[in-house]
Amino acid sequence: MGFNSFTFILVFLPILLFGWNVFNKLEKYTVADVFLTLMSLYFYYTFGVEFLLVLLASTLGNYVLSLVLHVSEKKSNIQTTIKVVGVLFNLSILFYFKYLGFFIDNINALTGATITAKEILMPIGISFFTFGQISFIVDRANGKAPHYPFLSYLMFAFYFPKLIQGPIAFHKEMIDQFQDSSLRKYDSDKMARGLMSFIIGLSKKVLLADNLAKAVNYGFHYTYYLDTLTVILVMLAYTFEIYLDFSGYCDMANGVSLMLGFELPTNFNSPYKAATSKELWQRWHMTLSRFFIKYVYIPLGGSRRGKIRTLVNVLIVFVLSGLWHGAGWTYVCWGLMQGLLVVWDNLGITGVKELSDGEGSSKKAKYLFREKPLITLPRPVGTAITFTMFVISLIFFGSQDLNYVGAMFNRLFVWTYPGFLYKTAENLKIPENYIFRQLFTQLGKDNLVNSVYVATFVILIAISGFVMTRKNTKEIVAETKFDGKTIAGLAVLFIWSFISLSNVSTFIYFQF
């Protein structure tokens, strides 16, 4: 049961909001907490009872470790031991379900062995909830987190809006909100803005991302048949799809949280407006970036151990980020490429006239080896280059294996045009172009029917590109005044999106 399903919208969400608000109105806060926790567990249960058992084991295991720390809080040797045990406990769960098969395959390839392992289903969102647990147990062992009441920790661990696809919320920023009774009062403004965020996210997912995916998935499957123009369009479509899909989910998660009275941390801040790769990663999947900075980059020494070590630490973080996204060498290569691009930015060979700090203001960039960049580019040029390099890097991210990566690069840089664009675009048989398809079919104009598919493909890419140049959802929601025109527009957008739910698909980041 995803956010983009009839069951969630028509049944789960209304029951959740009704029960939550009634219990809080009656000041039955403990009952409200239990209700939200059980609803969250049921939400996750719909993806599979075996997945729920993994989540329960992970959560209870971490809470027991926290309890041990609580009992022996004055013994520093115990603190260190529990931190190591806690990290290994969480990583072992992640390794078994996500990386064991990849590990065995590589052992077999290197040694010629024939080790086999039964197929293991990976729990939905395991990377997200595991990193949330790691952040808690490390902070707990370092004395930066209290031993929370059992119910408060369960609420944090199971809180369904962030559970399966992030954002990766830290314990304090959520539990502090859960314990603030003032946030439990019904707020019509928060309800309206939460609903608006949900509708915008839903439309980004079902009207744009899902339709783009039809051509994108076909393109990546038939990589060896693609021509250069089709590769360019497929990669542009994939770049927009992956952002619209992931940020659309986050918009919906933020919307549901606002309707409950809470706020999730921001995960996207118009990343395709970034003028350098370093800035892009200050705007893209921001909660993953801050996790790696806090729990990997800084413990490795950050920028405190010399300039060369700083660059090495950056590369380590990005390789791990690539591996976090998937158990495959394509993801590792993608992470390495992004890391090298950020290293390039840190060298100061090229730079832009103005950088954004991710909150709308400007600041001067910091370079490791130069006070000023050797070459200064206008910001629009930097943005174009950064976007292009990100598009190219996603060839690694979306391809089945490194052979497909090589084929995609070959077709991108060695010009061919066998006309495979029509076959790719034919996947876009969507309700929005039905009338034109039927009209030209009745007229016997098959070539024009093909043109409808191609035009639909190009229009979807163009609309997605236009959306990227606008303010992000959080900004739009914060600035909106709910007049009649706005409400009517949201109603139309919701109905259009709701009708499109007949073609429900999962979110890309569910697999991570």
The pLDDT assigned to 230 comes to 95
Cβ count within 10 A of residue 224: 11
Q: Note whether residue 77 is domain-resident.
A: yes
What is the phi/psi pair of residue 140, to 5°? -65, -45
- Same domain, residue pair 358 and 457: no
Going by their DSSP bridges, the two strands 355-356 and 375-377 should be labelled as unpaired
- Same domain, residue pair 173 and 63: yes
The pLDDT assigned to 355 comes to 64
Query: Which one, of 443, 389, 162, lies nearest residue 271 by Cα?
Result: 389
- Same domain, residue pair 179 and 223: no
Do 231 and 242 form a contact (C-beta atoms < 8 A)?
no
- Same domain, residue pair 204 and 174: no
Going by their DSSP bridges, the two strands 362-363 and 355-356 should be labelled as antiparallel
Q: Note whether residue 512 is domain-resident.
A: no
Name the token pair of 308. 């060369």
- Same domain, residue pair 207 and 152: no
Side chain identity at residue 102, one-letter code = F
List, as one string, the DSSP characters of 418-465.
Answer: -STHHHHHTT---GGGHHHHHHHHHTT-HHHHHHHHHHHHHHHHHHHH
Query: Which one, of 315, 316, 367, lies nearest residue 346 by Cα?
Result: 367
From 339, 358, 392, the end of a domain falls on: 392
CA distance 383 to 364: 16
From 392, 427, 457, the end of a domain falls on: 392
Number of H helices, E strands in the chain: 24, 4
- Same domain, residue pair 463 and 357: no
The structure's pTM equals 0.91
- Same domain, residue pair 175 and 202: no
Q: Note whether residue 433 is domain-resident.
A: yes
- Same domain, residue pair 11 and 104: yes
- Same domain, residue pair 349 and 449: no
From 126, 158, 186, the end of a domain falls on: 186
Q: What angle do CA 159, 160, 165 make, to 5 degrees?
A: 115
Q: Note whether residue 404 is domain-resident.
A: no
Q: What's the per-residue H, E or C state across 326-370?
A: CCCHHHHHHHHHHHHHHHHHHHCCEEECCEECCCCCEECCCCCCC
Cβ count within 10 A of residue 352: 23
Query: Which one, of 440, 468, 469, lies nearest residue 454 by Cα?
Result: 440
Q: Note whether residue 397 is domain-resident.
A: no
CA distance 460 to 162: 29
What is the phi/psi pair of residue 445, to 5°? -100, 75
CA distance 208 to 226: 23
Query: Which one, of 218, 130, 165, lies nearest residue 4 by Cα?
Result: 165
* 3-class secondary structure, 375: strand
- Same domain, residue pair 235 and 317: no
List the chain pLDDT tens, one digit each, 512 residues.
889 999 999 999 999 999 999 999 999 999 999 999 999 999 999 999 999 999 999 999 999 999 999 888 767 678 888 999 999 999 999 999 999 988 998 898 888 888 887 788 889 999 999 999 999 999 999 989 999 999 999 999 999 999 988 899 999 999 999 999 999 999 999 999 999 999 999 999 999 999 999 999 999 999 999 999 999 999 999 999 999 999 999 999 999 999 999 999 999 999 999 999 999 999 999 999 999 999 999 999 988 888 999 999 999 999 999 999 988 999 999 999 999 999 999 998 988 887 655 444 556 778 888 888 888 999 999 999 999 999 999 999 999 999 999 999 999 998 888 778 999 999 998 888 888 888 887 777 777 888 899 999 999 999 999 998 999 999 999 999 999 999 999 999 999 999 888 655 566 655 55
The pLDDT assigned to 109 comes to 87
Q: Note whether residue 405 is domain-resident.
A: no
The pLDDT assigned to 313 comes to 95
CA distance 207 to 178: 34
CA distance 427 to 349: 44
Residues with Cβ within 8 Å of 61's Cβ and at least 6 positions away in sequence, in order, are 89
List, as one string, the DSSP characters of 66-126.
Answer: HHHHHHTTT-HHHHHHHHHHHHHHHHHHHIIIIIHHHHHHHHHHHH---------PPPTTH
Query: Which one, of 166, 148, 153, lies nearest residue 257 by Cα?
Result: 166
Residues with Cβ within 8 Å of 74's Cβ and at least 6 positions away in sequence, in order, are none
- Same domain, residue pair 352 and 460: no
Q: Note whether residue 167 is domain-resident.
A: yes
The pLDDT assigned to 447 comes to 76
Q: Note whether residue 402 is domain-resident.
A: no
The pLDDT assigned to 336 comes to 96
**Domain with 322 in it:** 274-392
Query: Which one, of 216, 204, 180, lies nearest residue 395 by Cα?
Result: 216
The pLDDT assigned to 238 comes to 97
Side chain identity at residue 472, one-letter code = N
Query: Which one, of 64, 80, 84, lies nearest residue 143 by Cα?
Result: 80
- Same domain, residue pair 295 and 262: no
Number of compact structural domains in the chain: 3
Number of residues assigned to the chain: 512
Q: What angle do CA 270, 495, 261 make, to 5 degrees?
A: 60
Residues with Cβ within 8 Å of 216's Cβ and at least 6 positions away in sequence, in order, are 234, 237, 238, 241, 398
CA distance 152 to 66: 13
Distance of CA 382 to the CA centre of its chain: 24
Name the token pair of 154. 């369960």
CA distance 341 to 43: 39
Residues belonging to the active site: 325
CB-based burial of residue 29 (10 Å sphere; 0-12 exposed, 13-18 middle, 19+ buried)? middle
